[in-house]
Amino acid sequence: MTLELLPNLLDESADIDLYFPKNLKNIILSLDGLIAENEKNARRYLLRFIDREKLQKVPITLLNEHTKEDEILDLLKLIENKKIGLISDAGLSCIADPGSKLVRLARDKNIKIEAYPGPSSIFLALMLSGLNAQRFAFQGYLPRKEEELIQKIKDLEKESSLNKITQVFIEAPYRSDKMLDFLIKTLKSAATLSLAINLTSKEEKVITKKIYEFKKLNLRIGKNPTVFLFEA
């Protein structure tokens, strides 16, 4: 029994030969089932490697933010004497998605787990930003409520200043511009902010500037996937 942690693309139009290991197709062909966040996305993923006839024979089970703890326990039963794949909607399995809970439980059961390389928006953003990648912290999603968000940004900026840490986080694409506005209003003028937008796509753009420079740009991100990074 094996749990295979499979990579996914960040942008659906990206060339799989550039971002996936060469043996990934053989691994997927050997699967007895697939665990994914979304069934439609899972089927689209599988069709990159197998035909529709074979696709119909691959059971797809969901694991997402709506999955309850007892349902995750039930997923372990799927892996017994089988080889099951796990994917995220985008990027690497278990990074900023609920798949990590399944992996922890699988480890407790001594289930064999294998992971495969692929694109990660977090690490690509760090590489492309020019910010300090010796010490960094991924914060996931920041609070939604305005007062809590402002306080969190201030706390992260203080931590960045004291410990020389680059702060990294993400936001739902439809809130990208709102997050940018809060960062520009809240961070000190000398802080450095980087926006990694539409990574691995033809529209990829990375902008790294001081906050006082951003104030002059009147920049809009739109509803585009973005990784935010800053250092004080």
DSSP state of 200: T
DSSP lists the bridge partners of residue 206 as 196
| Token duo for residue 11 | 């942008």
Second-level CATH architecture of 2-115: 3-Layer(aba) Sandwich (3.40)
Per CATH, the homologous superfamily of domain 121-231 is: Tetrapyrrole methylase, C-terminal domain (3.30.950.10)
Contact by Cβ (8 Å): 116, 21: yes
Residues of each domain in the chain carrying CATH 3.30.950.10: 121-231
| Token duo for residue 55 | 């696709």
Number of H helices, E strands in the chain: 10, 10
- Of the candidates 42, 38, 40, the one whose C-alpha atom is nearest the C-alpha of residue 6 is 42
| Token duo for residue 73 | 């326990």
Contact by Cβ (8 Å): 171, 129: no
| Token duo for residue 177 | 């511009």
- In the sheet with 60-62, reading across from the earlier edge strand, the strands are 60-62, 33-36, 83-86, 2-5, 112-115
Tell me the C-alpha distance between 81 and 61, whole Å. Answer: 17
Would you write out the chain's pLDDT as a tens digit for each of its 232 residues?
Answer: 899 999 999 998 898 889 999 999 999 999 999 999 999 999 999 999 988 888 888 899 999 888 888 888 888 888 888 999 999 999 999 988 888 889 999 999 899 999 999 999 999 999 999 999 999 999 999 999 999 999 999 999 999 999 999 999 999 999 999 999 999 999 999 999 999 999 999 999 999 999 999 999 989 999 999 999 999 9
DSSP state of 117: -
pLDDT of residue 91: 93
Pairing of strands 2-5, 192-197: unpaired
pTM tops 0.95: no
Tell me the C-alpha distance between 43 and 113, whole Å. Answer: 23
Residues of each domain in the chain carrying CATH 3.40.1010.10: 2-115
- Of the candidates 92, 101, 44, 29, the one whose C-alpha atom is nearest the C-alpha of residue 71 is 101
pLDDT of residue 68: 84
Helix, strand, coil: what percent of the chain each, to 5?
40, 20, 40
